[in-house]
Amino acid sequence: MRSHLLIGAASSGSGKTTFTLGLLRALKKRSLRVQPFKCGPDYIDTRHHKMAAGRTSVNLDGFMMSEGHIWDLYTRYASGVDVAVTEGVMGLFDGYDAMRGSSAEISGLLRIPIVLVVNAKSTAYSVAPLLYGFKHFREELNVVGAVFNFVASESHYSFLRQACEDAGVEALGYLPRRADVEIPSRHLGLSLEEDFCFEEFADRIACLVEEHVDIDRLLAITALPERQPDPRVEEVARTVPAKRSLDIAIARDSAFNFSYEENIRFLSALGTITYFSPLRDDRLPEADFVYLPGGYPELYLAELSANSGMRESIHSFVEAGGKLLAECGGMMYLCKEIIGTDGNAYPMAGVLPQSATMENMRLRLGYRTLYYKNAVLRGHEFHYSRIVPMENPLPSVAKAFTAKGIQADTPLYRYKNVWAGYTHLYWGDPCRNGWFIDFLYGEGPDCFR
């Protein structure tokens, strides 16, 4: 018997991440092997999960991944651990189209018990109908318990506990209202600032979880027998193409760090990965393929611009026909310049004839499907910057659509053997990554069979 649970909520802002981080750290302190997962396309929560649990966190996404791939990921990473903890996204039933892509859909597919985190601020017994509704809205889901956040006192919790009893949902404890466990934020999610003392923060939440939440009972009611393959889901091959080994260079530093674990794992099976830093290194390593993921280049504009050696090295690699994929912040780095919030223009790699600007920031986000010739690419867009065309601007080579099939103006740029755009793409699913294999191994200007 191993414990499997999905931490859901009625809405965003209920405290899922705070409770998840505290539980992961508390379980680690008990010397349990705990495997974290994250519903949806979030990069930042997974990084904090890893720091709290000491184990890589993996995304589970109903839009970008096939059902077979989700089942394969969960089975593979949860194998041999004591506890598997999956943090949900938004409200439990919130997906890109009603329930599609929601945490509830992931719970149903993988048959994971659900623990609800409920925002108890300014409410008490009124949570009873909310809990009852979440438990019975979809009978195939297993809502086993609730943890309350922002609780004012033991007296306050007594009303919440009574509500749980009458709704048929077990009360597992609470987190008190405390200013010192509020997570600092940044425009793309949780803070990644170096001066944020994460270890101290995680330990502080873990102590609150140990003190106010019945962890033993939580583990008991989420324990499941050894998992068997789901007959509804097709078997997913884990093999990779039997092609020549590649030298792969991936940007990874404070400015570029948004990448999916399975994307990197897939690349590692195709060859040798070398990480490099556009902030610190003066040139690219030898490579057949370069990956520039997203991140926070806007926070390091002066440093990136001052590193002329790396900028020139990337420009020369592209002009010589090297294959490169750049996403969001990586795409911005390929532009002629980035205009910061200070209004100053900072020279960048100069591969793409355009500027990226942080002025007049406006959020753009959502799932995207890109159609380029015979290729179908899936990913997620989340950014505040925008592109300013220059003379002879590059057109988008793909048609982009939202998850609901509405055409979007999200660009995909092609220059020589470069693909670049705002979409964070997913290629870890062997059922859906033929376009990526064609890009890596294809010959000629199109790079497709």
Question: What SS3 string covers 196-251?
Answer: CCHHHHHHHHHHHHHHHECHHHHHHHCEECCCCCCCCCCCCCCCCCCCCCEEEEEE
pLDDT for res 243? 79
- CATH code of the domain containing 175: 3.40.50.300
Q: Are 13 and 56 part of one and the same domain?
A: yes
pLDDT for res 191? 44
Q: Are 55 and 172 part of one and the same domain?
A: yes
Prediction pTM value? 0.92
Q: Are 205 and 258 part of one and the same domain?
A: no
Q: Are 251 and 347 part of one and the same domain?
A: yes
pLDDT for res 446? 55
pLDDT digits (tens, 9 = 90+) for 275-323: 999 999 999 999 999 999 999 999 999 999 999 999 999 999 999 999 9
Domain-embedded: residue 166? yes
Domain-embedded: residue 234? no
DSSP type of residue 47: H
DSSP type of residue 180: G
Q: Are 198 and 306 part of one and the same domain?
A: no
Who contacts 318 (Cβ-Cβ below 8 Å, separation ≥6)?
324, 334, 351, 415, 416, 417, 418
Q: Residue 27 — φ and ψ, nearest 5°? A: -65, -40
Q: Are 325 and 424 part of one and the same domain?
A: yes
Q: Are 343 and 395 part of one and the same domain?
A: yes
pLDDT for res 32? 97
pLDDT for res 389? 83
Q: Are 213 and 107 part of one and the same domain?
A: yes
Q: Which domain holds residue 366?
A: 246-441
Q: Is 71 exposed, middle or buried (CB count within 10 Å of its CB: 0-12, 13-18, 19+)?
A: buried
Place of tokens 């979440």: 134
Q: Residue 172 — φ and ψ, nearest 5°? A: -105, -5
Tell me how many domains the chain contains: 2
Who contacts 283 (Cβ-Cβ below 8 Å, separation ≥6)?
309, 310, 313
C-alpha distances in Å from residue 42, one per residue of 184, 197, 285: 17, 21, 29
Q: Are 253 and 373 part of one and the same domain?
A: yes
Q: Are 333 and 429 part of one and the same domain?
A: yes
Please identify which of the residues 328, 335, 431, 447 carries the catalytic annotation: 328
Is-catalytic flag, 447?
Answer: no
Place of tokens 């030898």: 286
* Buried b or exposed e, range 191-219, using 16+ CB within 10 angstroms: ebeeeeebeebbeebbebbbebbebeebb
pLDDT-flagged residues of the chain (< 70) = 183-196, 227-242, 443-449
DSSP type of residue 184: P
pLDDT digits (tens, 9 = 90+) for 171-187: 999 999 987 777 665 54
C-alpha to C-alpha distance for 206 and 200, rounded to whole angstroms: 10
Quick check: 58 and 79 in contact, CB under 8 A?
no
pLDDT for res 36? 98
pLDDT for res 244? 87
Domain-embedded: residue 286? yes
Place of tokens 């290629």: 427
